[in-house]
Structure 1
């Protein structure tokens, strides 16, 4: 019993001491002022400015960036195949072939296809009293297989006088019987020779053996004609 009383008395004593220690008379001690003061930063005042784009028309010192591109210049990026990687040997070969071809043409061993004649050639009008005419034809260039066809036209009717006539160094004769009035003769190139266009020379004689005309056709394409008009008086 004595021990219980002792405990109660100790608890009452501790409670009273705590209330006295944290009573309303307790005051907070303020911090010591050490004299260091801070100032607020003042923002820098800048006068407002309007941003104006330069006028490149009034002030030529302002220029647009140059791209060094001109109208007509090739596009630096292209999907078209070019000859940048061509074999140099091909160029040399082509030049040699052109040189050889030119030499053959100059020596009469090859006919020049660059001047191929694709239009009919009219040799004009021949007037005669002869009843017949003799046309003598041959190849005047290299013998390369030229073929021709001879046709006479009278009163709108055509008659073939010679077909697939082979031209070589020897003369081939074509005889024509003339009717009163107009007689038309056509010598048509049936092919191009192996060395170029169809070439030929012709000589026209009357019944007395008098030569009335001589000339030639040169580098005719297939189907091109030499045309003549005979008037029997």
Structure 2
């Protein structure tokens, strides 16, 4: 009986030893866990177009209207040109224009510039001159802008010399006086290129004494200035 038990124990020990050495020599590979995350559904991009927007072109003036049908893009390709252009909007232009208008008004107001909008169209009577002089000398000039103003002078209906052109320096003409009343007229024979006729004139007697100094400003063509000269 003892021998039988000893045999069983030896057999058990041998099986256990053999199993450990067998399993010890086998290498096990770990199995990766299953991917149980839900698979996203494949979606197709929609065919909706992007908003119809076009960025402003920095090389154009602000008042250019962008076409509504353009898609978003920056500028446009242009062909190369050697021609010099200036398409930038200058904010100082408006100020410059206003200053120029204000200056023009001031010059016109002070009689330093002519203006067709303010033309004098009515003849003027300069009044009466009494003298003992045998003749008068009239000196004349354009006191504003030399632009081709012409004048015509008459004494008692007779033309004195030729048609006179006004310059910045004085020109002159001389006419005799008869006893009693004499009618002396000076006419704006033309307008200049920049506006009405502008004339300054001075009347001297036969002794060189200044008798009268007058001027007219911005007269229309054909307007006359009249003096009645009484020779005593």
Q: TM-score, normalised by structure 2?
A: 0.54
Q: Which runs of 5+ in 2 are unaligned?
A: 1-92
Mapped partners of 2:94, 2:129: distance in 1: 47
Mapped partners of 1:97, 1:223: distance in 2: 34
Question: 1:170-185 counterparts in 2 under 5 A?
Answer: 170-185=169-184
Counting matched residue pairs gives 140
Q: How big is each residue's C-alpha offset from its partner over 1:98-149, in whole Å with a ceiling of 9 and x where there is no partner?
A: 7635524534763122221000111100000010110111001111110000
The structure 2 residue matched to 1:121, chosen from 120, 124, 137, is 124
* Aligned-residue offset at 1:226: 1.0
- Mark the CA change 1:183 to 1:194 in structure 2 (over 3 Å): closer, same or farther: same
Match of 1:100 in 2: 100
Question: 1:206-225 counterparts in 2 under 5 A?
Answer: 206-225=205-224
Match of 1:87 in 2: none
Contact 1:112 1:219 in 2 (8 A): yes
- Mark the CA change 1:208 to 1:141 in structure 2 (over 3 Å): closer, same or farther: same
- Mark the CA change 1:180 to 1:112 in structure 2 (over 3 Å): closer, same or farther: same
* Aligned-residue offset at 1:172: 1.1
Match of 2:189 in 1: 190
1:138 aligned onto 2:141: yes
Mapped partners of 1:127, 1:222: distance in 2: 29
Mapped partners of 1:94, 1:144: distance in 2: 29
Match of 1:26 in 2: none
Mapped partners of 2:94, 2:191: distance in 1: 24
Contact 1:101 1:110 in 2 (8 A): no
- Mark the CA change 1:180 to 1:109 in structure 2 (over 3 Å): closer, same or farther: closer
Mapped partners of 2:192, 2:213: distance in 1: 22
Contact 1:149 1:163 in 2 (8 A): yes
Match of 2:168 in 1: 169
Mapped partners of 2:155, 2:113: distance in 1: 31
Q: TM-score, normalised by structure 1?
A: 0.54
Divergent runs of 4+, >4 A: 93-99
What is the aligned-residue RMSD (CA, Å)? 2.7
Mapped partners of 1:211, 1:144: distance in 2: 28
